[in-house]
């Protein structure tokens, strides 16, 4: 099955609004000059979203958020609800990034609640999974990722599966400059597809878009993105450099 490639930039807690505008303007300009073949999304900090929505109105670049609350509204100081994101035209949200799992105690159960609430409001999740270095060294990487998939996806109904993007991001490769080899990444993507297929069947598993994330850059993107099970990339550090991010987008098309 031919799945469209998606290149998503996760800006994390980087860029002031004016720095972010400069960066997104370069992407908008590049896309106008030569339309991207791959689908492209950017996930800037919350403070940029409204401004970016206006800028990206007539562009094919999709605007994503880095997180969302698992509650709809109320006394949850500091949280942002799916209703607020929907209101300003957000189409995707990154859920359970390993930094949120590690620093903010985000569990599979919380990820499930967040995914349910955003799907209900027609926003698509990019659900992050991936093992730590210790898990890989102890040969527990398949078990950990299987648990992250079954604890969340297995609790959803069949029709939700095509609306979900998975990002396989081995924690040891995030922001470290150490990338999974194309074979390591592709093996895990194929394993994830098998786990999903066991519960939902091969057809739905075949439609699932699985991104790789972990120190993707202009130099390694081509090889990673040419692997049969790798449907795109979730890019952290390299998405903050316009030239690098554009080269990754180019490598996907």
174 in contact with ligand PEP (CB under 6 A): yes
- Residue number, 49 or 235, with CB nearest to ligand PEP: 235
- Does residue 234 interact with ligand PEP by CB under 6 A? yes
Residue 69 CB, nearest distance to ligand PEP (Å)? 20
Binding of residue 169 to ligand PEP (CB under 6 A) = yes
Q: Does 211 bind ligand PEP (CB under 6 A)?
A: no
Closest to ligand PEP by CB, 38 vs 205, is 38
**Distance from C-alpha of 232 to C-alpha of 210, rounded to nearest angstrom:** 7
Query: What would the two tokens of residue 88 be?
Result: 């300003």
Is the CB of residue 68 less than 8 Å from the CB of residue 118?
A: yes
- 248 near ligand PEP (CB under 6 A): no
Structure tokens at 101: 């799992």
In angstroms, the CA 195 to CA 99 distance is: 24
Using the rule CB under 6 A, is 170 a contact of ligand PEP?
no
Q: Which of 209, 215, 246, 248 binds ligand PEP (CB under 6 A)?
A: 215
Using CA atoms, how far apart are residues 126 and 114, in angstroms rounded to an integer? Answer: 11
By CB under 6 A, tell whether 220 contacts ligand PEP: no
63-102 residues in contact with ligand PEP (CB under 6 A) are: 97
Q: Does 9 bind ligand PEP (CB under 6 A)?
A: no
Task: Give the pair of three-digit tokens for residue 91.
Answer: 């189409």
Helix 242-252 and helix 17-33, axial crossing angle in degrees, nearest 10:
40
206 is a site residue for ligand PEP (CB under 6 A):
no
Establish if 214 lies at the interface with ligand PEP (CB under 6 A). yes
Residue nearest to ligand PEP (CB): 236
Bridge partners for 39 per DSSP: 6
Taking CA atoms, 149 is separated from 103, 119, 193, 199, in Å, by: 20, 17, 10, 11
Q: Is 146 a catalytic residue?
A: no
Q: What angle do CA 190, 193, 198 make, to 5 degrees?
A: 125
Give the binding range for ligand PEP (CB under 6 A) out of 56-64, 197-205, 211-219, 223-231: 211-219
- Phi, psi angle pair for 66, to nearest 5°: -90, -10
Q: Which of 169, 189, 229, 244 is catalytic?
A: 169
Contact between 237 and ligand PEP by CB under 6 A: the answer reads: yes
Our CB check for ligand PEP shows the closer of 169 and 200 to be 169
Are residues 10 and 225 in contact, defined by beta-carbon separation less than 8 angstroms? no
CA distance 52 to 175: 25
DSSP at 152: T
Q: Is 124 a catalytic residue?
A: no
Q: Which of 9, 125, 232, 236: binder of ligand PEP (CB under 6 A)?
A: 236
Residues of this chain that interact with ligand PEP (CB under 6 A) are 10, 97, 169, 174-175, 213-216, 234-238
Q: Which residues are tagged catalytic?
A: 97, 169
């Amino acid at each position: 099955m031919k799945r469209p490639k998606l290149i998503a930039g996760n800006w994390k807690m980087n860029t002031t609004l004016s720095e972010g505008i400069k960066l997104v303007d370069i992407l908008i300009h590049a896309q106008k000059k030569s339309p991207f073949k791959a689908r492209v999304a950017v996930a800037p900090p919350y403070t940029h979203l409204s401004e970016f929505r206006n800028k990206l109105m007539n562009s094919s670049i999709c605007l994503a958020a880095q997180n969302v609350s698992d509650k709809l509204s109320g006394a949850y100081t500091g949280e942002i609800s799916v209703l607020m994101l929907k209101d300003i035209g957000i189409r995707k949200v990154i859920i359970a990034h390993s930094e949120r799992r590690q620093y903010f105690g985000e569990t599979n159960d919380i990820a499930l609640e967040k995914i349910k609430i955003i799907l209900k409001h027609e926003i698509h999740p990019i659900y992050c999974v991936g093992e730590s270095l210790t898990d890989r060294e102890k040969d527990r990487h398949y078990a950990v990722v299987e648990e992250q998939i079954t604890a969340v996806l297995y609790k959803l109904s069949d029709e939700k599966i095509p609306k979900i993007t998975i990002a396989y991001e081995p924690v040891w490769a995030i922001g470290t400059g150490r990338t999974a080899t194309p074979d390591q990444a592709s093996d895990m993507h194929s394993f994830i597809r098998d786990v999903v297929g066991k519960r939902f069947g091969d057809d739905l598993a075949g439609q699932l878009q699985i991104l790789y994330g972990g120190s993707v850059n202009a130099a390694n993107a081509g090889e990673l993105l040419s692997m049969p099970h790798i449907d795109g990339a979730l890019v952290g550090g390299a998405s903050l450099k316009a030239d690098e991010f554009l080269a990754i987008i180019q490598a996907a098309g």
